[in-house]
Amino acid sequence: MRTGRQRARVLVGWAGVLALIGGAWAGVYRIRQTQQTVSDLPVAPARQGEFLVIVRCRGELRAGRSVQLYAPIVPNLRISWLAPSGEVVPEGQPVIKFDSSSAEQQLVQKEAALKQAQATLEQAVAQAKITAQQDQADLATAQYNVENARLEASKKDIVSRIQGEESRIDLGVAEQNLKAQAAWTGLHTAASNSQIAALTRQREQTQADVDVTKARLAQMVINAPVTGFVVFASNNNQGPVNAKPFAVGDNVFAGMNLAELPDLTTLQMDIKVDEIDRGRLAIGEEARIHVDALPELALPTKIGQISPMAELGIDMSVTRTFRAYAPIPHPDPRLRPGMNGGVDLIVRRIANAISIPAKALVTRGGKPVVYVADRGNYRPVEVQVVARNPDEAAISGVPAGALVALADPEKRESKK
């Protein structure tokens, strides 16, 4: 009997030991499971330093100055060469060239006509000089004859009456010849002057035609007035449905808008600011531009201008926006007008602030709370929010360097 009882006691003892071992193992397993769950949560340290209160907006790059290129006032224009679209063209370099063969042929013809007109004018001037010299010689001869006849007529007192009368008649004839010669001289001079004037006008008109043709030839090349890249306008000659950017071979009319040349040194960000954030902005405040196409760039700038008038949204909703403009001091060569990007408008700076990622902040009982890592577990800590950003929050209530959970542990646990 004693042996049976001893065996029962031993068995009960071993059963108790096994139960204790099982309970301990279950506790260890539960702790390990909790630690494993805790270690799966992402964490981030609370950072101490300057905290930037920002207003995040969107915008589009635009050129502050843009030059329009128009077709010259020249008939029958046809494009023969274009600079590559979107390429940067230095100031003074060709952008558009037109077919100049017709104008060059006209210039050759008009220059030949000018030479002919000049030769005709010079011939008329030379002939007028010859005629004037001959008239002067004939006039001198007539004057000599008059003087000689007057001298003979003065001898009437010492010669016979018949000879005196003949001398008087000769004097009259000589005087009439002098008057006739003087009239002929005046007539020749007037005729020569009239002819020379007509030929001079003809030569000047031909010269004007040559100058106009040369001016048209000079306008057959449009050079870049500023350094920029070319954006060609649409050619609507075939209707708006078939409109395409101007290309080589297109015929254009005088005065048509052919291209636009934005000045890349005047790039600025055209920012849309929500009405609720307008009162927080001021001219001169700092901003940072992040272009979508070049995410590695962070362009520092300042607000240069804010529109005083609000604009309705595209959908004509009640949402209103204001436009702000931030010039880029030293644009990257890869930037182009029309690129979209985000803008962080810095409206306030807080020195030595404790900041955490915004998603580490949760609400419990209507109060802000963060979960701080504590020996493998997370304990909730109530904090005070000093300022917020889209990505971060400045808080008080936790020390710098404390690890905070980036997810709610309670929600994570409830899902499991």
Q: What's the confidence (pLDDT) of residue 313? A: 62
What is the chain's Cα-based Rg?
52
Instruction: Find out whether 392 and 359 touch, Cβ atoms under 8 Å.
Output: no
Helices (H) and strands (E) in the chain, counts: 4, 26
Q: What's the confidence (pLDDT) of residue 178? A: 78
Q: Do domains 43-62+264-415 and 101-218 have the same CATH topology?
A: no
Q: What's the confidence (pLDDT) of residue 36? A: 39
CA–CA gap between residue 300 and residue 345 (Å, rounded): 10
Q: What's the confidence (pLDDT) of residue 33? A: 42
Give the alpha-carbon dihedral of 18, 24, 26, 31, to 10 degrees: -170
CA–CA gap between residue 200 and residue 204 (Å, rounded): 6
Q: What's the confidence (pLDDT) of residue 108? A: 92
Q: What's the confidence (pLDDT) of residue 28? A: 43
CA–CA gap between residue 395 and residue 291 (Å, rounded): 30
Q: Would you tell me how many other CB atoms lie within 10 Å of the CB of residue 165?
A: 13
**71 is written with which tokens?**
């077709």
**Closest to 34 in 3D by CA, of 371, 378, 405, 364:** 378
**Cα separation values, 58 from 36, 99, 177, 254, 284, Å:** 42, 45, 102, 40, 18
Q: What's the confidence (pLDDT) of residue 353? A: 93
Beta bridge partners of 364: 367
Q: What's the confidence (pLDDT) of residue 416? A: 52
Q: Would you tell me how many other CB atoms lie within 10 Å of the CB of residue 175?
A: 16
Q: What's the confidence (pLDDT) of residue 177? A: 81
Output the CATH code of domain 101-218. 1.10.287.620
Query: Contacts from 295-299 at CB under 8 Å and sequence distance 24+?
Result: 297/332, 299/328, 299/332
Q: What's the confidence (pLDDT) of residue 250? A: 92
> Where do the domains of the chain lie?
43-62+264-415, 66-95+223-262, 101-218
**Closest to 57 in 3D by CA, of 205, 218, 272:** 272
- Blockwise average pLDDT, block size 10, the chain, 416 residues: 55 58 50 46 91 92 91 91 87 92 90 93 90 86 80 64 68 79 85 90 93 91 88 83 87 91 90 88 92 92 90 66 92 89 93 92 90 86 92 92 88 58
Q: pTM (2 decimals)?
A: 0.59
Instruction: Classify domain 43-62+264-415 at the CATH topology level.
Output: Elongation Factor Tu (Ef-tu); domain 3 (2.40.30)
